[in-house]
Amino acid sequence: MPKDELKSEFRLIGTRPDRPDGLDKVTGRARYGADMALPGMLFAAVVRSPHAHARILKIDASAALALDGVKAVVTRADFPTGLTGEDWNLQENSMAGDVALYDGHAVAAIAATSRLLAEDAAKLIKVDYEVLPHVIDVDDALRMDAPVIRAGAGDHTVPEGSPPNVSKYIEFGHGDLEAGFAAADLVREQTYKTEATHQGYIEPHACVAQLGADGKGEMWVCTQGQWYIRRMCSAVLGLEASQLRVTPSEIGGGFGGKTIIFMEPLALALSRKAGGRPVKLVMSRSDVLRATGPTASASMDVKLGMTKDGKLTAAHVNFRMQGGAFTGASPVGEALSCALACYDIPAVMHNGVEVLANRPKAAAYRAPGSPMAAFAVECLLDEMCHELGLDPLDVRLKNAVHEGVKASYGPTYAKIGLVEVLQAVKAHPNLLAKLGPNQGRGIASGFWFNHGGETSVSLAIGEDGTVTVSVGTPDVGGGRASIALMTAETLGIAYEAVRVNVVETGALGVNEPSHGSRATFASGKAAVEAARSAIREMCRRAAKEWGIDEEAVEWKDGAAMPAGPNAGKFPPMSIAEIAAKMGGTGGPISGHHETNADGVGASFGAHVVDVEVDPETGRTTILRYLVVQDAGRAIHPAYVEGQYQGGAVQGIGWALNEEYVYGANGRLQNAVFLDYRIPVASDLPMIDTVIVEVPNPGHPYGVRGVGETGITPPLPAVANAVAMATGVRLRSLPLSPPKVLAAIKAKGRA
Amino acid sequence: MQYHKPQTFDEAVQIAAAASGVTRFLAGGTDVLVQLRAGIVTPDHLIDLKLIPGVRDITRTEDGGWRIGIAVCGIELGRHAALVADWPGVVEGMQLVGSTQVQGRATLTGNLCNSSPAADSVPGLIAAGARVTVIGPTGSREIAVEDIPASPGRNTLKPGEIIAAILLPPRGARGGDAYLRFIPRTEMDIAVVGCAVSLTLDGDRISAARVALGAVAPKVLLVAEAAAAIVGTALDDKALAALQAAATAASQPITDRRGTIEFRKDVVAVLAARAARIAYDRAKGASK
Amino acid sequence: MSKIHVSAVVNGDPVDFLADPRESLLDCLRDQLGLTGSKEGCGTGDCGACSVVMDGVLVCSCLVLGVEAEGKKVETVEGLADVGALHPLQRKFIEHAALQCGFCTPGILVASKALLDQNPDPTETEVRYWLAGNLCRCTGYDKIVRAVMDAAQEMREAV
């Protein structure tokens, strides 16, 4: 749609009505993954490897199977063989084959008539292991003499002579790098590291699965994407996708971590083996941390060239990431593409490798790869600004990308809002707050591509003129409200007259998950198109009744009416009137739209944080926090703010305290919320937000995805603030008190 | 697992004596249930002590001290104004254990018996000079709190012995105590380092003191050298420096997922000085 | 392993159930009584999603055995609203968009009500520390704290 058609005045969009699922969610009625029970249901438990790397010599389940009430045990032997590529990765991650590849890797699963019985019986399954050497750290995994996780796993991109665990190599760039660095007044190069973190959704993975000998199955599961679950489970188990019906429960957080399968195929396999009885499988928190998909850990070199007035002349990033023991799981490609995306730099070069390590298969986590990349690039940028005596915000503005600029990762930007974001930051009162002793202020920008993806939406006009919208994107944080607002706006009816349902896999064409910040963008766009299609049909019905051409009927304020004085003189025919007679005027009226939703608008944000660091203990307190981000158009501003705030706080956790801690034995040391330290309410101030709206021309209402960018700037922003507060620069996350205190003391000694 | 609900301590002791296999006592349950759920300990017998009359009472003893029932939870402790006025450091140690929800369950006795070196309530009790009454098959005895923990997760109670009450000595005039801990977040963490100081003043000078350190050794330490460093002083900078040096010297910490040896040795000194100042101010009559 | 008969009062209603002594009160509420509003996020008392009030005290129901509920009064999120009228906290959570995924919401509502029952005028800091044992990963807590403060104000003004 041409830009000039983008409306800026709306009846409903931009208001803050109650979300349609609010009542269910404040009364405890909303049903999540573990809230389902079925007649005859069995309960499952999973046996997991206590070793980081071990050959499985023998699995003896006879003692468990001898117990009354134990109905089935499955191991890898119950799965089909011959899978390749990502299907094999998924199968191997769901259930170990010959070798357990990480602490927590599933080895066997059992179903019994009660949860306690299943857990007791699981303890009787005897597994003999031959412990193998393991490797955990990303840089250790890259050594030529590192324990080899899977010989020959590297793909065609891996240069000859690479270390044995390298599974992928990426290289791209443009411009004359040498000339760029030569033109700089200051060239600096540094290495940065980030630890793996977990999405930390509060709801553990849970499903109830049923699979009969006829290959027909059903599953109730908490997921961001029911079709992904269907496709992946079908592949892993050798089922026909259409025979598996997957219904998404309400989802208790996902942030990317619920876009793929983990234990779901085990529940299906157990059900099949137990004669088709439904099987419930609920992960414990420790299972979630050990055996679902955290993000990658990263080791990153950045080299930047800058003129003395702050213009970036060249940039070279070289990233190393491990995403567990599986190829293609790390977001190294995304990290490279995001690293320099905020800035207009004449010469850029990106190199990266993925390396295998004895850790769980990484899953997406909110803007996968971008937060690590931002930590490296935005910290070095900050260091150079200070060295040159330049204002870090002005330098970011000076180099900020805008419409027409060739992005560091290739394409040319359409209308984007980074400049507007940085200007809004500059105008914000938080920047005027005075800083005291041991306090510092950090700023950083962030980027995410956003995603469109496969989308299918249906809309049906009810007998009374109210409207049902069926979408395939689970509601992770107000999606129903946003889609209802856009649908009602388009149809010219009340927000309350629309009900949005998240439906099962049998009810629509294939939908990608609620990932990539796409649910409001893509399902919203398709819902608008579906509404327009229903409007066209309603206009036809009115035209038929009035006996005029359908082109002579237009839709306005929720009613068909003659388009102009020449069309004839008829009173408006409301949606309710059309609906009431639709049985006699041609049958049910619905709208449908499916698309590979294009026109995504790239998303930019900038954060400013004030911190205070206790110089005697190294503990950082967040004093003030500002998020400014371009939403394109905020359909329901309260939920846009919520995304900004939630992303910022996840990033704060990553920056300060969250990390996967492994012992020398390769076992995860902190697989409980007590020691995997996500931010608690008392750790934080209010999170101030500014919604910038630079409408995305690729969406009928200007929407850009808003979910992911917010986690990107906090890592460097907090690190930059801590550097200012303490006078020492830490280049590895998290900025845990022991690290910060050691750095402060080292400076004191120097 | 068998669940028992004795109505008296004697009955509880009898059940424990007759029980075979693993026995656990239930006071607040915030450790027992976690261990049960994680499969770390599945007791054969779980003896719930909460139904014994008097276990939720806080009473003034004849000598002016306090007797605290074994099932008194953190919230109940914090609501007892007279106890808080006497022993604010003891109470604040308990109140740092877990969340508001955990405060509704967790008890001093449970925290003590669990014998974690990082137990938040134990340094305050030790600094206060608290003792416990123990009932067992051979009768009852009194033990100093510092003699209960043996090593991480193990205590010195004999099989079948149960703590029946915690006894705090009389605070007396011009006394003050304080407990501080270091955690990376503001709440919900296990102490990386903890320190309690209890002292009594004679004029401006400290006439008696006890200093206890948490999470810097296999069990909570009572450090006589640290107390000696401040006794006889008005807590001047020199005394504080000596206190800090003694606290660091006494610490034998480990590096684990919560902190490093170096960090713990540094921070124990910081907390010792800060806690001593608070205790000193409280002894001088600052609001408790 | 025989089960134990437990009689309790849940949300004002007398209930009976059979509990294995190893089952938590949360297990019993969810699996025996069908009250699935209380959630299990950790099973170790670290997330607060299972918060209930037992005999007037806010607790994690994952840290209470089902058998301990004998003779007790238990209040869960399902008992928060009167018939036909939401509790002000419930309304304010919807109004302020104080939930995204909604999974932590039942526990936070129960915990917040327990706070306001004993402190009708809490400061922001008091709210934050009271709720420190209720993890929320979606919201960053901002809108939750605002909703609790706003509900408190409305409840004070209504008195």
pLDDT digits (tens, 9 = 90+) for A123-154: 999 999 999 999 999 999 999 999 999 998 89
pLDDT more than 70, % of chain A: 99
pLDDT digits (tens, 9 = 90+) for C47-58: 999 999 999 999
Report chain B residues whose CB lies below 8 A from the CB of C51.
Answer: 101
Least Cα distance to B234 among B245, B243, B246 occurs for B243
pLDDT digits (tens, 9 = 90+) for A280-307: 999 999 999 999 999 999 999 999 999 9
- Residue A613, pLDDT above cutoff 60: yes
- Confidence label for A567 from pLDDT (cuts 50, 70 and 90): confident
Yes or no, beta carbons of C24 and B38 under 8 Å apart: no
CA distance A417 to A249: 36
C63 Cα to chain A: minimum distance (Å): 14
Structure tokens at C112: 């917040």
**pLDDT (average), residues B241-262:** 97
- Residue A387, pLDDT above cutoff 80: yes
- Confidence label for A749 from pLDDT (cuts 50, 70 and 90): confident
Yes or no, beta carbons of C137 and A16 under 8 Å apart: no
Report chain B residues whose CB lies below 8 A from the CB of C71.
Answer: none
Yes or no, beta carbons of C42 and A686 under 8 Å apart: no
- Mutation for B interface: A202, A677, A744, most B CBs within 10 A: A677
- Residue B84, pLDDT above cutoff 90: yes
- Confidence label for B38 from pLDDT (cuts 50, 70 and 90): confident
CA distance A380 to A386: 10
Sheet with strand B162-168: strands edge to edge: B58-60, B66-69, B162-168, B131-136, B139-144
**Which residue of chain B has the CA closest to C60?**
B101
Report chain B residues whose CB lies below 8 A from the CB of A673.
Answer: 188
CB pairs under 8 A between A and B: 59
Q: Is B48 on the interface with C (CB under 8 A)?
A: yes
- Residue A313, pLDDT above cutoff 90: yes
- Residue A4, pLDDT above cutoff 50: no
- Confidence label for C11 from pLDDT (cuts 50, 70 and 90): very high
- Mutation for A interface: C99, C101, C110, C148, most A CBs within 10 A: C101
Yes or no, beta carbons of B99 and C132 under 8 Å apart: yes
pLDDT more than 90, % of chain A: 97
Chain C contact partners (≥3 CB pairs within 8 A): A, B
Q: What is the residue-averaged pLDDT of chain A?
A: 97
Yes or no, beta carbons of B186 and A745 under 8 Å apart: no
pLDDT digits (tens, 9 = 90+) for A688-702: 999 999 999 999 999
- Residue B286, pLDDT above cutoff 80: no
Ranges assigned E (strand) in C11-149: 13-19, 51-54, 57-60, 73-75
| pLDDT for A5 | 53
Q: What is the pTM of this model?
A: 0.98
A739 Cα to chain B: minimum distance (Å): 9
| pLDDT for A500 | 98
Q: Is B6 on the interface with A (CB under 8 A)?
A: no
Yes or no, beta carbons of C63 and B36 under 8 Å apart: no
CA distance B67 to B89: 16
- Residue A497, pLDDT above cutoff 60: yes
- Confidence label for C1 from pLDDT (cuts 50, 70 and 90): low
- Residue B265, pLDDT above cutoff 80: yes
CB C60 within 8 A of CB C46: no
Least Cα distance to A384 among A299, A302, A317, A441 occurs for A302
C159 Cα to chain A: minimum distance (Å): 23
| pLDDT for C83 | 83
Least Cα distance to A75 among A91, A96, A57, A56 occurs for A96
pLDDT digits (tens, 9 = 90+) for A173-192: 999 999 999 999 999 999 99
- Contact residues of A toward B, CB < 8 A: 119, 123, 286, 616-619, 656-657, 661, 669-670, 673-675, 677, 679-680, 682-683, 736-738, 741-742, 745
- Residue C159, pLDDT above cutoff 90: no
pLDDT digits (tens, 9 = 90+) for A51-95: 999 999 999 999 999 999 999 999 999 999 999 999 999 999 999
**pLDDT (average), residues C5-16:** 98
- Residue A3, pLDDT above cutoff 50: no
pLDDT digits (tens, 9 = 90+) for A392-419: 999 999 999 999 999 999 999 999 999 9
Structure tokens at A83: 């899978």
| pLDDT for A2 | 43
Sheet with strand B221-222: strands edge to edge: B175-182, B193-202, B205-214, B221-222
**Which residue of chain C has the CA closest to B99?**
C133
- Confidence label for B70 from pLDDT (cuts 50, 70 and 90): very high
Neighbours of B150 (CB within 10 A): 13
**Which residue of chain C has the CA closest to B3?**
C21
Sheet with strand B45-48: strands edge to edge: B2-4, B45-48, B23-26
Report chain C residues whose CB lies below 8 A from the CB of A643.
Answer: 100
pLDDT digits (tens, 9 = 90+) for B188-247: 999 999 999 999 999 999 999 999 999 999 999 999 999 999 999 999 999 999 999 999
**pLDDT (average), residues B134-145:** 96
- Residue A167, pLDDT above cutoff 70: yes
pLDDT more than 90, % of chain B: 96
Report chain A residues whose CB lies below 8 A from the CB of C127.
Answer: 681
Least Cα distance to C27 among C71, C62, C76 occurs for C62
CA distance A108 to A91: 13
**pLDDT (average), residues A82-110:** 98
- Mutation for A interface: B183, B185, B195, B262, most A CBs within 10 A: B185
Yes or no, beta carbons of A116 and C129 under 8 Å apart: no
Phi, psi at residue B149, to the nearest 5°?
-70, 140
CB B58 within 8 A of CB B83: yes
Give the type of residue at A672: V
| pLDDT for A107 | 98
| pLDDT for A112 | 98
Of B182, B189, B262, the CB nearest to A677: B189
- Confidence label for B288 from pLDDT (cuts 50, 70 and 90): very low
Phi, psi at residue C54, to the nearest 5°?
-120, 120
Report chain C residues whose CB lies below 8 A from the CB of B33.
Answer: 24, 45, 62-65
Yes or no, beta carbons of A619 and B182 under 8 Å apart: yes
Chain A contact partners (≥3 CB pairs within 8 A): B, C
pLDDT digits (tens, 9 = 90+) for A213-263: 999 999 999 999 999 999 999 999 999 999 999 999 999 999 999 999 999
| pLDDT for A511 | 98
- Residue A1, pLDDT above cutoff 70: no
| pLDDT for B238 | 98
| pLDDT for A6 | 62
